[in-house]
A and B are shown apart, each in its own frame.
Chain A
């Protein structure tokens, strides 16, 4: 089976040890090596025969004297380093560090020579027995016998020198010595796989001393005459940069540099971040240098610190915005609104500039500024109205092109959280502009387009519907030709749900002149033919009429609200009428008649009716007739509705509160829908989870907890959802 020739009769020749001919004992052999090592340490290596020493080591290892050899070498090296140690006596500071480097460099050369001689021991004995080779044995013994004994001196020297470098910064000249000494310490380790002695012993010491140094520096700065210097970010930045520069000059290890930097940063910045943030934010917002925010953020690497700064900045911005003054003395609200918004734009420009120099890592700063604006807007109740008024003002001025301020205002809109509140106000103003034809439809469309960029098309669906209504009414009119040969009639059909209209009884009750009634019926007939099943309701209070009349001295075309027109037409058949008679003939409420009569008979520029007795107020028995003597510079005269000065604020407030009520209702239903939708999907959720999810799904306004609670109550009562029996903070969906 075996293919080997087996010859067990051959006697082995193991006993014939040809390679250990030298029969002297270990001691004699060792004496040769000891003498060699001594000579190497004396720098007399050239006198030695490599061959002789190598052969001696080889012989000893081969005769299984490895352990003794290793032992004796280790003892010999220890003795030698013990002598080396004495050269450190009485030496401190830079000299000690320099000496460390010099001594080690020299010993390394010696060790490498010894290592060459002992190579056979290293590669055969040490490797097999897992003992350190000569180089690592030597460096460990050097560490143990030299470095550890003088480590106190070395540590204090190191700290002294580094502190001196910190103080004299650029002038310091000993960087190389420090760097070399650190490199030596970094190359020495106590055991295989252990961290270097620098990391184990020196670094912790350095960290402590660094902390002490900066604490001391900090209290020195505080004690200075200039009370603000310790918290000024320029000072801090400079200090931190110096620390970094010094560290980079001394240490190779990025870890150590980072640790030291972090200590300096913690002592100087993080521990006082609140005060530093307050002081510096106030300082930078009005600075004319544009990289200040970026520099301020650079003083700390910790996100927490940055957040404190952002927090301060945000608070500051909100304060600035809310303290923009509202001009209450202005006659018209729109004037105050325009002035206010312009201030706001200036503010925004300022912060835009401040944020524009942030680097990509500091992009959070930009977000913080924007969020602060949004936060401020939510705090200012009048903001949506003012913003809408600003747009209103702009559109009424019939601009030829979009200006940059409008774009900024659109930005404001995007930052504003309660977008639904804005929509209600904007819609009212839009309807007024459209019906009174006060703006360019193209511009309206343009603005709506900009607004919907962020919130989506559903948000502007009503606004766009309003524009569409006007367009389709026009087309309908053009298709069907004239309603009357003698009169120009234009009718707008407004879809009820788009327009913010409040129907009024007067529209149904008013008695219109026959000639007008005929035209109305004609239109209704025609409309019914093309659009069956639609109910038309006439909104006279939104309409205007134009009546041509030959006064005694001049001919005028009078443009006036529909109700004024109806009243004026009465005088076609009656010479004069009392207030009561007019009320009876028109079937309008007294309040409305009085409003119209004031603009026709009291307003100085449009006094087309004569009132007797004359006076500013109108009583039920006053007589009215056409003022034949009326004259005006232009042929076209516009009879404007005089605003009743009685209780103007009350009406304002009531409309506002009604707006708020409406807003609340619509929000509630949005939340209800969102809750139901989410619950249907997830089946069961905890209160807080649900709240987070709902808040995320609502883009148009910020959900307040009370509103959320109201919604939940409603849904619980109506059994859309159900509380968990055991856990009251959990809800279940009821299908």
Chain B
């Protein structure tokens, strides 16, 4: 084998990236979303120089194409890679989406956590700024201490040291408020590069030196020598992407160090309000106590941030309403989980889009995200369950079915049906299958002319898939008597499986 990595710097043979390529081929938009959130580079290429966008475009998966573009895939038709995506597009509608994509306008494509962070600049949900920078004429710019601390070691030191007791910092007279605002936008991951003004550059340069943003500095240096608009746009894109990746790492580090490590374990008794007040001004500068109760009955207390937790609908409703929690300054909110790692997965997701869910706790993560009304995490957990090869070593497929039904996750229902279908000989004697079929029959929403049991229908569907058969070939079963043909085509085996299923149904008292 030739070492291709020398040829193409974008070549990526990371396992997650290759899985992403596969998801793009088969159009599994949810898995693609999960994989992108693990931090793979969406603009990488595989050993055949295929980018995920090209694969999705070629295979005609419009929703994956849209997802990739939203997450920062570049389609520059002036370059070989971009043109290839457009010419390779399977459908006109995909081609039009790609043609409409304009690299210079695509600066705000990014990960959900970054979008959320940006939206906090004008935090209108909980409005929980805890620091202010005051400029000349008493102009003020509000900010979140924890975001500044997470993104910049400079601010981290200041908040722990000289500014520890300050609520507001007066900036030196003559400071350029606009330049400062640009820096703040950079910190909050608002795409700012394209709106930097020439006359601010000096101030921004200075401020980024001070606050310690080497990437911003390197961008400023590079962009000075680029005049071609398309190249410039590429550069911006590349850097904005890098900023987001860095921010994710910084948040991850911050959450680990300050939230998880500072969690307080109390096996009994209540937290004293006084105790919490002191926590308020220490890193992580939280404004909310998350009381995590494990199934072992232990309570852990984490200082968290309302501004971040509102990414979950549960917290959003809680803090935007007029209930007690919204009116108290540092509310204590409980979350019941199986063990601490579930809570950590949920928080990691909320803070920096981590979708790295260990399969062992995937079901618990799914239930918890259902409770806090966070659909995307729920989907991610479901994808983890379906992708994991070890999952069934610890859990029964009927656990999956149970959680699928109680939390309405269609993907898992199908997955369960598929697993059962592919191994029907084993499952058919399991009394749990009978229970599941009876339960499924009770879930019929509204009576129709011919009621069907969804689970049975799904199993039938996957039995066809199992033997690579089409529905219309089944009539051959009645007419064809060439045994060899039936054997070869898999029809015979299919018939065997179906007979198993049907005899079970008859046993259960269903009409077929």
**Chain A residues close to B by CB (< 8 Å):** 1-2, 4-8, 10-14, 18-19, 21, 45-51, 53-54, 58, 62, 113, 116, 119-120, 123-124, 128-130
Q: Which residue of A lies closest to B324 (CB)?
A: A49
Residues A50 and B422 in contact, CB atoms below 8 Å apart:
no
**Known: A8-B427, A50-B324. Is A1-B422 also a contact (CB below 8 A)?**
yes
Min C-beta distance of A314 to chain B, whole Å: 58
Which B residues, 384 to 402, have Cβ-Cβ distances below 8 Å to chain A?
A: 389-390, 392-399, 402
Is the CB of B239 closer than 8 A to any CB of chain A?
no
Contact A49 B325 (CB under 8 A): yes
Q: Does the CB pair A51–B422 fall under 8 Å?
A: no
Extra 20 A-B pairs, beta carbons < 8 Å, given A6-B419, A50-B324 = A2-B466, A4-B418, A5-B389, A5-B393, A10-B392, A10-B393, A19-B336, A46-B323, A47-B324, A48-B324, A49-B324, A50-B317, A50-B318, A51-B318, A58-B371, A113-B323, A119-B313, A119-B373, A128-B445, A130-B445
User: Across the interface, which residues of A come within 8 angstroms of B122, CB to CB?
Assistant: none
B396 near A10: Cβ-Cβ < 8 Å? yes
Residues of A within 8 A of B396 (CB): 7-8, 10-13
A6 contacts B322, CB within 8 Å? no
Closest to A36 in B: B323
Given known contacts A2-B466, A7-B392, A14-B399, is B373 in contact with A116 (CB within 8 Å)?
no
Choice from B323, B336, B419 contacting A48 with Cβ under 8 Å: B323
Closest to B293 in A: A21
Q: Mark B290-306, 1 if CB is under 8 A from A, else 0.
A: 00000100000000000
Which residue on A lies nearest to B328, using beta carbons?
A46
Contact pick for A14, options B371, B373, B402, B426, CB 8 Å? B402
The answer to whether A18 and B392 touch across the interface, beta carbons within 8 angstroms, is no
The residue on A at minimum CB distance from B337 is A18
Taking a contact as CB atoms closer than 8 A, the residue among B325, B336, B392, B432 that contacts A6 in the complex is B392
Q: Give the complex CA separation of A19 and B418 in angstroms.
A: 27
User: Are B402 and A12 interface neighbours, CB within 8 A?
Assistant: yes
Residue of A nearest to B395 (CB): A10
Binary flags per residue of B137-167, CB closer than 8 Å to A gives 1, else 0: 0000000000000000000000000000000
Residue B430, interface by CB 8 Å:
yes
- Whether, in the assembled complex, B334 has its beta carbon less than 8 Å from a beta carbon of chain A, the answer is yes
Closest chain-B Cβ to A7's Cβ sits at a distance in Å of: 5
Contacts of A45 in B (CB 8 A): 321-323
Kindly identify which residue among A7, A10, A51 contacts B325, using a CB–CB cutoff of 8 Å: A51
The 6 closest A-B pairs by CB, nearest first: A2-B422, A50-B323, A12-B396, A6-B423, A50-B318, A12-B398
Q: Would you give 28 A-B contacts (Cβ < 8 Å), ordered by A?
A: A1-B422, A2-B423, A2-B466, A4-B392, A4-B418, A4-B419, A5-B389, A5-B390, A8-B430, A10-B396, A12-B395, A12-B396, A12-B398, A12-B402, A13-B395, A18-B338, A19-B367, A45-B321, A45-B322, A46-B324, A47-B324, A49-B323, A50-B321, A51-B318, A54-B318, A113-B321, A116-B317, A119-B313
In the complex, chain B residues whose CB is within 8 Å of the CB of A62: 406
Indicate which residue in A5, A7, A49, A124 contacts B408 across the interface (CB closer than 8 Å). Answer: A124
Asked if B226 CB lies within 8 Å of chain A CBs, one says no
The residues of A that contact B389 with a CB separation of less than 8 Å are 5
Interface residues of B in 325-347 (CB under 8 A from A): 325-327, 333-334, 336, 338
Residue on B with the closest CB to A18?
B295
B365 to chain A, nearest CB (A): 13
- For residue B446, CB closer than 8 A to chain A, the reply is yes
Per the bound structure, the CA–CA distance linking A653 and B446 in Å amounts to 94
Chain A residues with CB under 8 Å of B422's CB are: 1-2, 4, 6
What string of 1s and 0s marks CB contacts (under 8 Å) between B433-445 and chain A? 0000000000001
- Chain A residue contacts of B427, Cβ below 8 A: 8
User: Are A120 and B321 touching (Cβ within 8 A)?
Assistant: no
Cβ–Cβ contact B398 & A14, under 8 A: yes
Q: Which residues of B contact A (CB under 8 A)?
A: 295, 313-314, 317-318, 321-327, 333-334, 336, 338, 367, 371, 373, 389-390, 392-399, 402, 406, 408, 418-419, 422-423, 426-427, 430, 432, 445-446, 466
Bound-state Cα–Cα, A18 to B322, Å: 30
Which B residues touch A54, using CB under 8 A?
314, 317-318
Cα distance A54–B370 when bound, in Å?
13
A19 to B407, CA, bound (A): 12
- Selected from B325, B390, B392, B423, the residue in CB contact (under 8 A) with A50 is B325
Shortest distance between the CB of A492 and any CB in chain B (Å): 79
Give the complex CA separation of A345 and B31 in angstroms: 87
Write the chain A residue with the least CB distance to B371. Answer: A58
Q: How many Å lie between the Cα of A297 and that of B390 in the bound state?
A: 84
A120 to B367: give the CA distance in the assembly, Å: 13
A120: which B residues are within 8 A, CB to CB? 371, 373
- Measured CA separation A50–B323 after assembly (Å): 6
The docked-state distance in angstroms from the alpha carbon of A21 to that of B371 is 14
Cα A123 to Cα B314 in complex, Å, equals 12
Rounded to whole angstroms, the CA-CA distance of A500 and B430 in the bound complex is 117
CA distance A5 to B406 in the complex (A): 25
Q: A4-B392, A10-B394, A12-B398 are contacts. A51–B295 as well, Cβ < 8 Å?
A: no
Give the complex CA separation of A7 and B430 in angstroms. 12
CA distance A609 to B319 in the complex (A): 129
Instruction: Find chain B residues with CB under 8 A from A12 CB.
Output: 395-396, 398-399, 402, 432
- A357 → chain B, closest Cβ, in Å? 51
Question: Closest CB-CB distance, B390 to chain A, in whole Å?
Answer: 8
Enumerate chain B residues within 8 angstroms of A1, measured Cβ to Cβ: 422, 466
**Do B333 and A51 touch (CB < 8 A)?**
yes
Residues on the A chain within 8 Å of B393, using CB = 5, 7, 10
A2 to B389, CA, bound (A): 12
Shortest beta-carbon distance, A576 to chain B, in Å?
A: 112
**Cα(A650)–Cα(B139), bound, Å:** 109
Chain A residue contacts of B367, Cβ below 8 A? 19
By beta carbon, the residue of chain B nearest A64 is B406
Q: Is the CB of B324 within 8 A of A19?
A: no
- A129 and B445 alpha carbons, distance in the complex (Å): 7
In the assembled complex, the CB of B285 is this many whole angstroms from the nearest CB of chain A, namely 23
Q: How far is the CB of A316 from chain B (nearest CB, A)?
A: 63
Bound-state Cα–Cα, A566 to B430, Å: 141
Expressed in whole angstroms, the minimum distance between the Cβ of A149 and any Cβ of chain B is 30
Question: Which of A11, A46, A47, A119 has most B Cβ within 10 Å?
Answer: A46
Expressed in whole angstroms, the Cα–Cα distance for A53 and B392 within the complex equals: 36
B322, closest chain A residue (CB)? A45
User: With A10-B394, A10-B395, A116-B317 in contact, do A4 and B323 touch (Cβ < 8 Å)?
Assistant: no
Please name all residues of chain B whose beta carbon is closer than 8 Å to the beta carbon of A14 when the two chains form the complex: 398-399, 402
Chain A residues with Cβ under 8 A from B423's Cβ? 2, 4, 6, 8
Query: B399 near A13 (CB under 8 angstroms)?
Result: yes
**Complex interface: chain B residues within 8 A of A123 (CB):** 373
Contact between A19 and B446 (Cβ–Cβ < 8 Å)? no
Chain A residues within 8 Å of B432, by CB: 12
In contact, A19 and B371 (Cβ under 8 angstroms): yes
In this complex, the member of B318, B322, B426, B466 whose beta carbon has the largest number of chain A beta carbons within 10 angstroms is B322
A485–B246 CA distance with the chains assembled, in angstroms? 122
- Chain B residues with CB below 8 A from A5, complex form: 389-390, 392-393
A158→B66 CA distance, assembly (Å): 52
Which A residues touch B445, using CB under 8 A? 128-130
CB B233 to nearest CB in A, in angstroms, measures 41
Cα of A120 to Cα of B375 in the assembled complex, Å: 12
B331 smallest CB distance to A (angstroms): 9
Chain B residues in 8 Å Cβ range of A113: 321-323
Closest chain B residue to A49, Cβ basis: B324
Residue of B nearest to A11 (CB): B396
CB distance from A320 to the nearest CB of B (A): 67
Q: Min CB distance, A128 to chain B, in Å? A: 7
Minimum C-beta distance from A91 to chain B (A): 29
Taking CB as reference atom, which chain B residue is nearest A10? Answer: B396
Using Cβ atoms and an 8 Å threshold, which residues of chain B touch A46?
322-324, 327
- Nearest Cβ distance between residue B438 and chain A, in whole angstroms? 14
| Nearest CB of chain B from residue A591's CB, rounded to whole Å | 95
Most buried by A among B327, B338, B371: B371
